[in-house]
Amino acid sequence: MARKSIGTIIVGEDNSPNPSEFNFVLTKSEEEFQLEKGMYVIVPCDDGEIIATVSDVYKTNRYFSSPSAVRAYETSGKTLASIFPADRWEHIIAKAKPLGIITDLGIQRLLFPVSPGETVFIPESKVLQKFLGLEKTNGINLGKIEQHDVEVQLNLTRFLQKHAAILAISGAGKSYTVSVMLEELLSRPKKQGRIAMVLFDVHGEYKGLGDEESPFYKHIEIFPAAAIQFGTHALRARQFAIFEPQITSVQTRELSKILNKLFEEKTKKNETYTISDIVKELEADEHINQRSKEALIGWLYTLEETRLFGASEYPVLEKILEPGKLVIFDLSEFTSLKLKQMIVSYILYRIFDYRKKGKIPPTAIIMEESHQFCPEARLELAISRPIIETIAREGRKFFTSLVLISQRPVKMSTTALSQCNTHIIMKVLNPYDLDFIGRSSEGIDRATLNTITGLGVGEAVIVGNAVNHPIFVKVRKRKTTTMDTQTLEESAINFDT
Amino acid sequence: MGMHNKIDDAIDNISKKIIAYNEHRKLFQDLFRKVKKSLNPSEFPSAFGIKTKDSFFTVKVPKTNIDGLKVAGVDGGVIHRTLNYFDIALIRAVGVLFLHQKDDKPQVRYFPEEQPFPDILTSIEPLSQNEIDTLISIWRMQKEIRCGISLLEEDMPDIIILDGSVLPFIDYKQVNQSEFLMSQYRNLKTLYRRLYSLCEKNRTALCGVVKDSRSAILTNKLAALLPHLGKMPEFEQLLKIDYRPIVKQLRDTDLLYQVLDVDERTFEFFLSNFNDDTDQELKDFDIHCFYLKTAEFDAPLRVEFPLLFSNQHDLAQKISALVIAVSRYNPEYGLPSVIIEADARARLQETDADILVDEISAKIGYSSFSLQRRRSRLPFKAGD
């Protein structure tokens, strides 16, 4: 298809064109072409093709340029537009910000101005994909670039290896976007490389993904929180100390000795053990300080009361995590944040351990309400934060990726969020969150940040490692209908009948 | 006495003179306004050279509904550069036709098109600066009249309004001294004749509107007439003041700005014949004119029209009604809407000529700077 010309570069009053800005007049009528802010345009030049984004669009009309003349004419009782052919004088002017120049040597920074009179075109899909660092096929297709019929297919490695974050206010479409992302990951054929997926579903929003009607039914397994059991034998003393932060380092060392002894004895007999076994061993040990012993036993009983600790692990993560499969841990039935954090902590610890040993496939961990699990708070309120931060720092080496989702990024661990190299930012209104996003998202400029409050539902800006430049994307329609779309009225009627 | 004191005194004196003159003038205008209805121009003695059939000095313009009427306007734009050996001018003219519609914006047609490419005319004739100015002026009028002709050949407007005079106003003495200029002038007159005859054939009213007329034809005649009106009691007060120097200095529009009300015109009067020495034995046209107040805070327009297909009173009423209808939207700017639009379309930018000169220079291998005449390329200019 022939390249579509839409405008001509003009000399602006703001010393443009210059290397960082140019203006052009739209040479097509509004019926023929709707020019919008955020669009990409291209200007051919001797060295290659300059690609730019439309940073602003405005209209001029000489008939309406003088307020006093407009007022004077309209005192006649007729509008200016009814006296003169004013619509014929309306011109659309666009300000564009060059992003770079595509040359034979690759994409380079623009260091010279474009020439007035040059023709402005709408870039073809392949040019835009190349420039923005998108895949033509086989990528993670999140939707289309706003105002362009170009799919946003993110390269899997660039998107996930160095972690990602999805940030937005409630109702902006975070979970929808996650569903789209999961559909893409679940649809990948073996030859493209499939990864395992683990999703912590805090509100039970993703249960429907595993329904029999779902096209991905066979590739999804859901575990309610109540069914989850920790394999006590898999836990080290340090982890007990994380679950119960009041355990001192001396006590942790004593507990470690007991656990090593138990592990050795039970492994020889091909047996496992429970917290009761640890308590018995503690009671029998005569070397431990009595006060430490009593404190440790007390805390172990407290942990046992959570009913999370058993002789064996369920589900067995090593077995359920398979390429192209999604495992959902439904935490919605639990009200205790501490229990939810303990589950997340245990599972992540195990996953990371298995990945380091190569026992499970490369895995993406998707975490809803991340600010609950890795808050910037003291440790007893952030039990799962250390392992999340560990994976954030070291996960890329072992292909263990995090996708942190949050509506309150300002409350999240800075360490974790700063390691998320790709941000999918949807509508955010809170000025503190916006400011935090501005500081923590690499590659986001002030102009892009300013547009975030105005994003609509299902609209997102992608910045960071997955793309070469910030991209505004309209998230595609889901293939599954998993969300509970009941209205408040419907929910009230259901309860009442 | 220091320099500052001298300047202060000079400013003081000038200001006093202006204030005194303005007060005097205002007094005259106010008094004349009071007596305007007592004057019957049709009864003026022929010796004063006022030929009219209107029996009042000011005439109320009838209101007209322009829905369904076609009003056309023509204007031109010109940019001129004098280079070392030749003159170059960019000239274009645009015709605009509004079909006025009830409760809707006018439908618009442009002639030859919305934004025509300008003609590029050059001359290597050895002409003086004044002659060059005359030539450019003729070229511009030729372009405008051709545009009007093409408009009339394609459509039949109810009225066609030219920006400026409806006559080819040229310094005839100067034209007469140059064969080249004379040939251009004859050509222009032929075009005017063609325009008039098309208007006559189509029964299209034709007029030219002059926005800032410096003419004093009316005030000169008044200056001669006023002393003879002393016997009329209404003029007693007016004639008591020292009106002569005021009338002598006033231009027609200065006087009429105060004297005319909005929607009022002066009596129409014979202005000139179309024919001159170049038109022997050709059909002549009487050109009439009147002044028309279209906007409260704007000077009256001078409206000129050839007597083509109706009597002078009826034609003046028709033209004034149509011109008023398309001009009285803005209390501060009373120009017909078609002329405003045509002007905007025809106007040329200085940069258009610069580009042309640069391109020519590039082709012939000169710098455009060296092509321009010395006075255009002064090395030190005020404001630089």
| Mean pLDDT across B159-187 | 92
- Check if the beta carbon of residue A406 is closer than 8 Å to that of residue A388: no
Mean local confidence (pLDDT), A383-405 = 96
Shared-domain flag, residues A355 and A440: yes
Query: Per residue in A157-167, pLDDT tens?
Result: 999 999 999 99
Residue A334 lies in a domain: yes
**Is the model more confident about B338 or about A171?**
B338
Q: B105 vs A85: CB contact, 8 Å cut-off? A: yes
B189-213 tens-digit pLDDT: 999 999 999 999 999 999 999 988 8
Residue B85 predicted with pLDDT over 90: no
pLDDT of residue A385: 95
Q: How confident is the model at residue A270 (pLDDT cuts 50, 70, 90)?
A: confident
**What integer is the mean pLDDT of A195-215?**
88
Q: What is the pLDDT of residue A483?
A: 54
My answer on whether A217 and A237 are in the same domain is no
Q: What's the pLDDT score for residue B115? A: 86
Q: In which band, very low, low, confident or very high, does the pLDDT at B264 lie, cut at 50, 70 and 90?
A: very high
Q: How far is CA B335 from CA A50, A477, B271, B324, B341, in A?
A: 47, 58, 22, 9, 10
- What residue of A is the nearest CA neighbor of B297? A72
Tell me if A137 is assigned to some domain: no
Nearest CB to B331 within list A72, A84, A88: A72
- The CA distance from B63 to B69, in Å, is 14
CA distance A391 to A413: 13
- My answer on whether A56 and A164 are in the same domain is no
Residue with tokens 């550069």: B81
d(CA A162, CA A416): 11
**Is A128 part of any domain?**
no
In angstroms, the Cα distances linking B332 to A71, A491, B105, B297, B305 are 11, 66, 22, 5, 25
Q: Kind of pairing, strands A91-103 and A106-108? A: antiparallel
Compute the count of residue pairs across chains A and B with CB atoms less than 8 Å apart.
Answer: 39
Q: Where are the domains of chain B?
A: 60-215+251-347
So what's the ipTM on this one?
A: 0.74
Kindly state whether residues A244 and A299 are assigned to the same domain.
yes
Q: Which residues contact B370 (CB under 8 A, 6 or more apart)?
A: none
Provide the pLDDT for residue B378: 57
Q: For strand A422-425 and strand A164-167, is the pairing parallel, antiparallel, or unpaired?
A: parallel
Q: By CA distance, what is A62's nearest residue in B?
A: B344
Of residues B128 and A354, which shows the higher confidence score? A354
Which residue from B minimizes the CA distance to A84? B337
A391 and A198 Cβ atoms separated by less than 8 Å: no
Task: State the alpha helices, DSSP H only, in A213-307.
Answer: 237-243, 249-268, 275-284, 290-304
| Per-residue pLDDT reduced to its tens digit, A369-386 | 999 999 988 888 899 999
Closest CA to A165 of A402, A455, A467: A402
pLDDT value of residue B362: 77
How many whole angstroms separate alpha carbon A470 and alpha carbon A455? 14
Predicted local distance difference test score (pLDDT) of residue A482: 53
Chain A residues inside the 8 Å CB shell of B332: 68, 72
Among B71, B100, B105, B340, the residue to mutate for chain A (most A Cβ within 10 A): B105
pLDDT at res. A371: 95
Q: What is the pLDDT of residue A494?
A: 80
- Do A382 and A479 lie in one domain? The reply is yes
Q: What is the mean pLDDT of chain A?
A: 91
Query: Closest to B106 (Cβ–Cβ): which among A75, A76, A85?
Result: A85
Residue among B104, B329, B344 whose CB faces A76 most closely: B329
Tell me the mean pLDDT in the region A229-244.
92
Q: Max CA-CA distance within chain B?
A: 77
Dmax of chain A from CA atoms? 105
* Beta pairing, strands A48-60 & A40-45: antiparallel
Mean pLDDT of A278-303: 91
Model confidence at B163: pLDDT above 80: yes
Q: Are residues A462 and A442 in the same domain?
A: yes
Chain B contacts of A84, Cβ < 8 Å?
A: 105-106, 337, 340-341
Q: Over range A99-111, report the average pLDDT.
A: 90
Q: Which of A474, A239, A199 is nearest to A349 (CA)?
A: A239
**Tokens 């666009």 correspond to what residue?**
A94
- Residues in chain A closer than 8 A to B341 (CB atoms): 84-85
Q: Report the share of chain A in percent with pLDDT over 90.
A: 64
Q: Is the dihedral of CA B370, B374, B377, B380 positive or negative?
A: positive
Whole-number pLDDT of residue B384: 44
Burial letters A222-243, b for 16+ CB under 10 A, else e: bbbbeebbbbbbbbebebbbbb
For residue B261, pLDDT beyond 60:
yes
Instruction: Verify that A94 and A202 share a domain, yes or no.
Output: no
Cite the DSSP H helix spans in B50-114. none
| A27, A65, A68, A84, best to mutate vs chain B, most B CBs in 10 Å | A84
pLDDT band at A257 (very low <50, low <70, confident <90, very high): very high
> Please, which residues bridge with residue A288 across strands?
none
The CATH number for B60-215+251-347, chosen from 3.30.420, 2.60.120, 1.20.1050, 3.30.2170, is 3.30.2170
Taking the Cβ of residue A87 and every Cβ of chain B, the question of whether any pair is shorter than 8 Å is answered with: yes
Q: Name the amino acid, one letter, at B30.
A: D
Please tell me if residue A78 touches chain B, with a CB cutoff of 8 Å.
yes
A164 shares a domain with A35 = no
| SS3 state at A56 | strand
- Residue A59, chain B, CB below 8 Å: the answer is no
The DSSP letter of residue A234 is G
Whether residues A78 and B98 touch (CB distance < 8 A) is answered with: no
Chain centroid, CA A290 distance in Å:
49
Query: B328 and A82: CB-CB below 8 Å?
Result: no
Residue of A nearest to B344 (CA): A62
In a domain, A277, yes or no: yes
Task: Compute the distance between CA of residue A14 and CA of residue A17 in angstroms, rounded to an integer.
Answer: 8
Residue B112 reports pLDDT greater than 80? yes
Q: Do A84 and B337 touch (CB under 8 A)?
A: yes
Q: Tell me, what's the pLDDT at A181?
A: 96
Position A237, amino acid: A
pLDDT value, residue B383: 44
Tokens of A20: 């960082």
* Residues A273 and A362 grouped into a single domain: no
Domain identity same for A217 and A235: no
Q: How far is A106 from chain B (nearest CA, A)?
A: 35
For residues B192 and B152, is the Cβ–Cβ distance under 8 A? no
Residue B372 has pLDDT above 70, yes or no: no
DSSP-derived secondary structure for A373-400:
HSBSS-GGG-TTHHHHHHHHHHGGGGTE
Q: In DSSP terms, which residues pair with B273 in a beta bridge?
A: B286
Q: Which amino acid is at A262?
A: L
CB-CB contact of B319 with B287 (8 Å): no
- Residue where one domain finishes, among candidates A309, A331, A348: A309
Q: Which tens digits make up the pLDDT trace of A61-98?
A: 989 988 888 888 888 888 888 888 888 889 999 999 99
The pLDDT of residue A409 is above 80: yes
Structural domain boundaries enclosing A239: 231-309
pLDDT at A377: 82
% of chain B with per-residue pLDDT over 70: 94
A48 in any annotated domain: yes
| Domain-embedded: residue A200 | yes
Q: Which residues of A touch B334 (CB under 8 A)?
A: none
Q: Any residues with CB less than 8 A from the CB of A7 and at least 6 apart, and which?
A: A24, A25, A26, A27, A28, A35, A41, A94, A119, A120
How many structural domains compose chain A? 3
CATH number (domain holding residue A68): 2.40.30
For residue A144, is it within any domain? no
Judged by DSSP in three states, B325 sits in helix
Enumerate the residues of chain B whose CB falls inside 8 A of the CB of residue A83.
105-106, 329, 337
Q: What is the pLDDT of residue B247?
A: 81
Instruction: Summarize the confidence of residues B273-292 as an average pLDDT.
Output: 90
Shared domain check, A301 and A186: no
Residue A391 within any structural domain of the chain: yes
Same domain, A73 and A214: no
A10 shares contact with chain B (CB less than 8 Å)? no
Cβ distance of B340 and A84 shorter than 8 Å: yes
The answer to whether B352 and B77 are in contact (CB under 8 A) is: no
